[in-house]
Structure 1
Amino acid sequence: MTVKYSKDHEWIDISNHEAATVGITLHAQDALGDVVFVDLPEVGKTFTQGEVAGVVESVKAAADVYMPVSGEVVEVNEALRADPSLANSDPMGTGWFFKVHVTDMAQFDALMDEPAYAEFAKNA
């Protein structure tokens, strides 16, 4: 399984072995509504799991984007910065937030798989 989910409603995909891709889940963007601004992390910055790595603002609210695993940010989605609505229209695809070199795969392994996240999101 290459995609896992955090309790903070981020997804992380490790299918690209160079760097894992991180974004917000469909549930998160549904809860936020129309996204109007994203604050992305700085490339080269290292975060620990659970640390705030960015912010997403919508017409309804602002929410922190948390690092689902420890690692170093190696790329940010400039297309998302230019068009924040990508987080709504394609949150699991073109609306990704950043890419990270994972430093602890055990943290990734401990995240929820899709069925577990779907059950978690029902009560969130």
Structure 2
Amino acid sequence: MKGKEIYPLVYKVVKRAQKENPDLKNFVKSYEWSKRIPKPQDITDELADALCTSVSCSPGVGLEIYYQEKVYLKDLHSTFLDNQLTYLLNNSSADGNNIWKLGEIIRTVFEGRLVFNETDKELLISL
């Protein structure tokens, strides 16, 4: 999947995690930066790719602190990716929901680079 296709899921999970995971606030700089990511409808192809790459690897700036965040079926459904990605939710949480980690989904389906480069860094710093 291209960055712009998977970014709505990244955005959804990041925004939910900002509200529900207080441990993320321990990463002050990364957490505060992540609050400025654009909505899916306001993103360019290049920025979507850079943000998706940053979930997997992001020295200094990006969304790597969200790598471990859980993705649920309701996340896929609300971003209209349930028909494409439900098969990935093969782990069960304590409450019986099928889940997988955001970073593992990115590493599995994202067709872009999984290694951060200077162009990505410049794009993300500009946010």
Tell me which interval the TM-score lies in, with the shorter structure as reference length: under 0.3
Q: Which has the higher strand share?
A: 1
Q: TM-score, normalised by structure 1?
A: 0.27
Q: TM-score, normalised by structure 2?
A: 0.27
